[in-house]
Amino acid sequence: AFCSWIIAPGRPVTLTFTSFWIESGDYVRVYTCSEAACSHPRELAALGGQRLAGENWQHNVSLGYMKVTVAARSGGRQSLSGFSAIWNLTSDTPLLCIGCSGCGRFTGTSGALSDGPGPYEHRAFCSWIIVPGRPVTLTFTSFWTDGGDYVQVYSCIESTCASPKPMAVLSDTLRDNEWQHTIVTGYMKITFSSDFTGRRNGFSAVWNLSSEAPQPCAGCSGCGSFTDDSGFLSDGPDIYDRNAFCSWIIAPGRPVTLTFTSFWIESGDYVRVYTCSEAACSHPRELAALGGQRLAGENWQHNVSLGYMKVTVAARSGGRQSLSGFSAIWNLTSDTPLLCIGCSGCGRFTGTSGALSDGPGPYEHRAFCSWIIVPGRPVTLTFTSFWTDGGDYVQVYSCIESTCASPKPMAVLSDTLRDNEWQHTIVTGYMKITFSSDFTGRRNGFSAVWNLSSEAPQPCAGCSGCGSFTDDSGFLSDGPDIYDRNAFCSWII
């Protein structure tokens, strides 16, 4: 077969294929011409194969004179249905929507779009134009394409998007900064194209005026921007999604602290904490990138003195482990609870005496626990037992006021204690103690008492009958049985 059409409205014209399925070796050719007779056509496209790909579904001829031919030379007898097409003046041309649903031109200030339900079709090509005329932001709510399939975002200078400027080319899974795109002109175009190889679930997105754009929340629940003094956030109640990306902005405008209450994510996935200089968090500065299955040490708590914080979670590992994700609370820093991960009895104490410990039995891996002791008079901490693994630490701090907002390290204690480490006096009357463990060995931990320094007992770890004595005579010993390992005992006579 050989067939030919000349289309010559004399004004810019666009040919849009509505179906295409021809045998390999056969071709449909599109030409541009300089006059109505098309005496000297110039080839624009030679289209062959069983399906079209990408922007080959649509062809513009600005001179207004077009020629189309089809030549079947392969000799094949496959039951392929050929092609069909429509032409329109370019100003009236519909948007391409091959293999998707809901394409179109939208002027509303908010809405949603996607490639459609389920895995997308091979060789799809779909277009959306969004033209509210005011700065507009596109936020992806899910994204997973094959490596050769692309979503492209364009900026336009007028509502027809006749000359779109590429802003982003997106494929596979998204990086952190690719989940949201703002077009300040107020005119945006989005296209999606797929090839003939793998298929994935595709994408979905929402658009809003930039001033009203939501935080990305792909695969989580409860994302958003919050100005409350306290609150709760998490990735959701179940195992987090593969390819998730979620974001929260916490902006009370006063010093704020984020405290993780649980954390268990797959290696390769990250929760990131940022500080910001204003409530929109337009230029966040990263404070911490938290990955791995559990947190360690002070990573359980993060302070932002400016009062504007951003938190994101990105799941890129693609793994399918049954890991529960994370949860956290935020509070004004002045109201923040002390960390107590893996211990018991943490807290803030004003009494002149008391006791503390990591809890009964061997302590947990990756624990982090805190105690603040603020009688306001010189106070002494006396350990009554101590045995930690070499990578696990008890730290003692001196503070200058009761919140211990700026603690000064006084001692870092690990393994077993030396003679002068069993007792620590803080003359300011404000003391902080922390305990942290890693993911390797575990030991029995520690216990201690505190007293006003004038009333502090003698260390007596592993003995009996220690103390201070003024008697003219008396008796002392380490105790009736075999003495303890890691003992340290003291008597004053």
Q: Are residues 381 and 309 in the same domain?
A: no
Computed over every residue of the chain, the mean pLDDT equals 88
The pLDDT-based confidence of 318 (bands split at 50, 70, 90) is low
Q: Are residues 354 and 482 in the same domain?
A: yes
pLDDT reported for residue 324? 75
User: Among the three residues 214, 233, 252, which one is the final residue of a domain in this structure?
Assistant: 214
The pLDDT-based confidence of 171 (bands split at 50, 70, 90) is very high
Q: Are residues 379 and 350 in the same domain?
A: yes
Q: Are residues 354 and 318 in the same domain?
A: no
pLDDT reported for residue 426? 95
Q: Report whether pLDDT(253) > 90.
A: yes
Q: Are residues 84 and 105 in the same domain?
A: no
Q: Strands (DSSP E) along 49-133, which ranges?
A: 58-61, 66-71, 82-89, 97-98, 104-106, 110-114, 125-130
Cα separation, 22 vs 146, in Å, equals: 25
CATH code, domain with 188: 2.60.120.290
Contact 254, 229 (CB under 8 A): yes
Q: What are 450's two structure tokens?
A: 């505190």
For 394-445, what is each residue's pLDDT tens digit?
999 999 998 887 889 999 999 999 888 999 999 999 999 999 888 788 899 9
Lowest mean pLDDT among 92-96, 361-365, 447-451: 92-96
Domain that holds residue 381: 340-492
User: Among the three residues 92, 127, 146, which one is the final residue of a domain in this structure?
Assistant: 92
pLDDT reported for residue 320? 47
The pLDDT-based confidence of 73 (bands split at 50, 70, 90) is confident
pLDDT reported for residue 76? 61
- Give the chain's domain count: 4
Radius of gyration in angstroms for the set of CA atoms belonging to the chain, rounded to a whole number: 35
Lowest mean pLDDT among 148-157, 180-189, 216-225, 315-324: 315-324
Of 235-244, 317-326, 374-383, the range with the highest mean pLDDT is: 374-383
Task: Compare 335 and 31 and report the one with higher pLDDT.
Answer: 31
Distances (CA, A) of 129 to 112, 249, 341: 12, 29, 50
Q: Are residues 207 and 256 in the same domain?
A: no
Q: What are 176's two structure tokens?
A: 């952190």
Q: Are residues 200 and 322 in the same domain?
A: no
The pLDDT-based confidence of 446 (bands split at 50, 70, 90) is very high
Q: Report whether pLDDT(14) > 50.
A: yes
Q: Are residues 237 and 331 in the same domain?
A: yes
Q: What are 11's two structure tokens?
A: 């004004």
208-219 mean pLDDT: 89
Rounded percentage of the chain residues whose pLDDT exceeds 70: 95
Q: Are residues 236 and 118 in the same domain?
A: no
Tokens 């230029």, located at residue:
283
User: Among the three residues 32, 64, 92, which one is the final residue of a domain in this structure?
Assistant: 92
Q: Are residues 425 and 384 in the same domain?
A: yes
Q: Are residues 117 and 180 in the same domain?
A: yes
Q: Are residues 273 and 165 in the same domain?
A: no
